[in-house]
Amino acid sequence: SSIINQAPPPPPPPRPRSDPIQVFLGIRQRQLASGDYLDVSALKREAEARLSLPLPPPVAEALRGLQRVLSAVNSVVTLALATHNLLTLPLLDELIRLNRDFAAVASFDELLLGPLHRNPHVQRGFGRLRQPPPPIGVDAIMEALSKAAR
């Protein structure tokens, strides 16, 4: 009889909803962990599959911001490849950081886009690089050019 007079147990607390930005950042981090360059189309598709459509405003804005960063990087890479006879990845990294949009960035890696040598535009200009080329100094470049000119 004491069981009948007891109140039913309270319902379990509602499960906390995942923060859409955290879901978005988690997808981005998982993509970057693969060692590839960031694929914004795949990121958007997965975000749309995991979150509601239309994407929540903070996620949509983060995606637009990421697309602006990628566009600016790709513009610098394309311009550098078109105007430089001699271009190394460290020089390209420096040229990207000279862009006013990236003035606060100490290295390309801080943009969290993936390895610079895996950027599709870099791969078109440098060839399909699985690993970044070894660093090369100015002396080695000048020696190679001197040998080639002979």
SS3 8: coil
Q: Are 58 and 20 in contact (CB under 8 A)?
A: yes
Q: Nearest Cα to 108, choosing from 142, 43, 121? A: 121
Q: What is the pLDDT of residues 14-24, one digit of tens each?
A: 544 678 899 99
Output the pTM of the full model. Answer: 0.68
Closest CA to 34 of 97, 111, 91, 118: 118
* Per-residue pLDDT tens over the stretch 51-86: 878 888 899 999 999 999 999 998 888 888 888 767
- 3-state helix, strand, coil split of the chain in percent (to 5) is 65, 0, 35
Report d(CA 20, CA 51) in Å as an integer.
7
